[in-house]
Structure 1
Amino acid sequence: MQTRVGNRRKRFLAALAVVGVLAGASLTGAAPASAVAAGERLAPGVTYTEFDIPAAKGTAHAHVLTVDLRDPRVRVDLLHPDAVGARATVSAMADASGAVGGVNGDFFNITETQHPGVEATGASVGPAVASGRTLKAAVPDGQRFGPALPPGTSTRDVLGVGVDRRARLDSMALDGSVRAGDDRVPLGGLNQYALPVGSVGAFTAQWGSVSRVRATCGTDTQRAAPCSTDTYEVTVRRGRVVSAADVPGGGPIADGTTVLVGREAGAQWLRKLSPGEPVRVDHRLVAAHSRVPYRFAVGGYPVLRGGAPLPGLDAKTSAVRTAAGIADHGRSLILLALDGAPAYRTGLSIAEVADVMRSLGADDAFSLDGGGSSSLVAREPGAATVTLLNHPTDSPERAVANGIGVYARG
């Protein structure tokens, strides 16, 4: 390994001048784990390093935070704005929550050019759990933003850390219902920017004030399909119907209040409800593989399982990427963001990301949002604010839906 001093972020990177350069022309033969092992300690259980990656379309440059979940002084959690339907930069979210570092998270509803007049929500694609609290569920696969999903994956896939402090890959599905008397319908969504066709979705105070119209646009297979013309909205406060409207609205939702949005068959069911009628709304996220409750979970999609890349990963399209890897039987988390500076902007393909994460020692790895969203921040010991360590392709730093925050005591 050679030593490299980048001209990155002035004081901070002058202090963190330990950077590995990968040896060899093949990612499969590369050994960036040694660069990570030589990383600079930011806090108990948290190290940072950066290194070059020789890739098929040019040199990429990686920034990596390694988190030792065995250390009781360190934890990870979801970085998120005050509302699901909102965006903020990773730097702002990290500073607001006191994180020592972090990366951007899930893909999100960034634009609505295909639905003129409809407000983009900023909400993420997949499930989200913060500090053990469920924030939202996943949109239908056909409604996601971002590159095509690899075969066998879905918008319900998550990377999470359980109350046992072990990181793992999983899938989280919504289990819920709306009951009125003896009548009941399954709940099709929770704080989502897109609801399944014919369903009823619930929006709580965690959604925020952004318009709920987007939830009734597109179909389960076509994000760009027109908005539904058969919609209905019912507001339930303290278990009783208090108002209704033909078109989904916006504005803050008070604590103790749930707004039910229906489309097609779901709208027809909601129209049967009367003012003052008792209504019960239940919802929870159910993990497919773990019985350990999740303290934190974020959406994206897996690229590596059990040390093997998923079949069908794209090996042609290169881009700036963010990814997370799990090592040491869930006891170590590896957070990687590529640099978007012009010299490195060719980036990596998803197949190359899987190879890099495996060479870093990960057994499982997860792709997060990339491109202009890719951001990695860290806080110099004693500093009041974090520093953005990579160069995002967007300038200034892009506001995103959520991220992975790293926290340490001492």
Structure 2
Amino acid sequence: MQKRVDTLGRRHIRGGRTRLLAALGVAGLLAGTALTGAAPASAASGTEVAPGVTYTEFDIPAAKGTAHAHVLTVDLRDPHVRVDLLHPGAVGARATVSAMADAGGAVGGVNGDFFNITESQHPGVEATGAAVGPAIASGHTLKAAVPDGQRFGPALPPGTSTRDVLGVGVDRRARLDSLALDGSVRTRDDSVPLGGLNQYALPVGSVGAFTPDWGSVSRVRATCGTDTQRAAPCSTDTYEVTVRHGRVVAAADTPGSGAPADGTTVLVGREAGAQWLRKLSPGDPVSVHHRLVAADSRVPFRFAVGGYPVLRDGAPLPGLDAKTSAVRTAAGIADGGRTLVLLALDGAPAYRTGLSMAEVATTMADLGTDDAFSLDGGGSSTLVAREPGAAKVAVLNHPTDTPERAVANGIGVFSR
């Protein structure tokens, strides 16, 4: 990493892509001495990771102490650059950001959505590792969102939900939106709305679909908790039906495990959904349809990841927490969706006080982004990049978890 970013002055600069990159370069110059081993020495003034991809690090004065930020800036105008979901190959699985980046050939990336990390409230139930919100990878829908009350992570700001996503459309523009599940399960005589797709939590009384994308982890967790209480007991009224090539081939009273085979969908019902599934018999024809529907954009997403917005049109969302500081990961959008800014804070002891969500929003605005999105933080916050010619990426921040935490997904930056 040798090429440095030009700088235009010692202050934050708001505006278009040229000014944004200049601001990041200035911030790097103002950072002072970097942590030992935190990044290559050249990164202090901004470093080209690949054409269209720049890395910078800098200090942020905050209410509870100095935070240290690591930033990847991605120029989506560059035809050699693309952004996509990093994921471990199954929804119900976890891997480190560095492992996912290396496996996919990414030049950089950060961790993604909050996820089902533990099940201490449901003894004997396996945590799935699955993400909270919707996920789309390379245009393929992997999953939909769990009910708001079932999410892991800090409280959602007013007006946001688990359906919120940050993504990049087939037009190569980044945007924020909300993705709702639209689907149904149909028989010859009846139909029910589909309540979930590859989710670790299903709405009370619903039927959810699990495809080969789910993986082999147990589906029991999908019937635990309620729409408003994640810790509520698991349902005692459940049923599971396996549909292969459009016909019922098996049924069980409790959700099972094992990856559904190609051409197979496992339907899991709870309460009213379980009662509906019990009407089915082996050999019955069943069709399952599902899609994710965007609230605002008509441009299909090529990539999308869950989290929640903290900045819209340059203004922080009302009601953001200004008291709780922590290590954070965030993504911001500038230039009408043509620039993506990925930020992860450093988790080293000197900087571990981090930022509040209100400070994250202010920081992303100061970096010139118009819209910004909070991703998982704490021990999950990880930013990686690969030097030209290197075989693998390096972790450039200091994650608070040692070794690097395995997460549900991430945002990967790719360069041809």
Q: TM-score surpassing 0.5?
A: yes
Q: Does structure 2 conserve the Cα–Cα contact (< 8 Å) formed by 1:325 and 1:357?
A: yes
Unmatched runs of 5 consecutive residues or more in structure 1: 19-38
CA distance in 2, matches of 1:216, 1:393: 32
One-letter amino acid of the structure 1 residue matched with residue 298 of structure 2: R
Count, aligned residues: 388
> Secondary structure of 1:91's partner?
helix
CA distance in 1, matches of 2:187, 2:289: 12
One-letter amino acid of the structure 2 residue matched with residue 223 of structure 1: R
Q: Does structure 1 conserve the Cα–Cα contact (< 8 Å) formed by 2:31 and 2:58?
A: no
Counterpart residue number, 2:16: none
CA distance in 1, matches of 2:33, 2:341: 22
Q: Does structure 2 conserve the Cα–Cα contact (< 8 Å) formed by 1:90 and 1:103?
A: yes
> Secondary structure of 2:40's partner?
helix
One-letter amino acid of the structure 2 residue matched with residue 398 of structure 1: R
Q: Does structure 1 conserve the Cα–Cα contact (< 8 Å) formed by 2:31 and 2:59?
A: no
One-letter amino acid of the structure 2 residue matched with residue 13 of structure 1: P
Alignment partner of 1:305 out of 302, 312, 326:
312
Alignment partner of 1:357 out of 340, 345, 364:
364
Q: Does structure 2 conserve the Cα–Cα contact (< 8 Å) formed by 1:42 and 1:48?
A: yes
CA distance in 2, matches of 1:213, 1:164: 39
> Are 1:78 and 2:85 an aligned pair?
yes
> Are 1:4 and 2:32 an aligned pair?
yes
Instruction: Tell me the TM-score normalised to structure 2 length.
Output: 0.92
Q: Does structure 1 conserve the Cα–Cα contact (< 8 Å) formed by 2:56 and 2:72?
A: yes
One-letter amino acid of the structure 2 residue matched with residue 51 of structure 1: F
Unmatched runs of 5 consecutive residues or more in structure 2: 1-9, 11-29
Q: Does structure 1 conserve the Cα–Cα contact (< 8 Å) formed by 2:383 and 2:396?
A: yes
Report 1:160-239 matches (<5 A): 160-239=167-246
Alignment partner of 2:128 out of 121, 124, 132:
121
Q: Does structure 2 conserve the Cα–Cα contact (< 8 Å) formed by 1:218 and 1:225?
A: yes
One-letter amino acid of the structure 2 residue matched with residue 365 of structure 1: A
Deviations, residues 62-108 of structure 1 (Å, cap 9, x unaligned): 00000000111101000000100000000000000000000000000
Divergent runs of 4+, >6 A? none
Alignment partner of 2:288 out of 281, 288, 291:
281
Counterpart residue number, 1:24: none
Instruction: Tell me the TM-score normalised to structure 1 length.
Output: 0.94
How much does 1:253 deviate?
A: 1.1
Report 1:1-400 matches (<5 A): 1=10, 2=30, 4-9=32-37, 13-18=40-45, 39-400=46-407
> Secondary structure of 2:391's partner?
coil
How much does 1:238 deviate?
A: 0.3
Deviations, residues 133-186 of structure 1 (Å, cap 9, x unaligned): 000000000000000000000000000100000000000000000001120000
CA RMSD of aligned residues (A): 0.9
How much does 1:6 deviate?
A: 1.7
How much does 1:3 deviate?
A: 5.8
Counterpart residue number, 2:14: none
Deviations, residues 26-85 of structure 1 (Å, cap 9, x unaligned): xxxxxxxxxxxxx21110100000000000000000000000001111010000001000
Q: Does structure 1 conserve the Cα–Cα contact (< 8 Å) formed by 2:44 and 2:58?
A: no
How much does 1:252 deviate?
A: 1.6
> Secondary structure of 1:17's partner?
helix
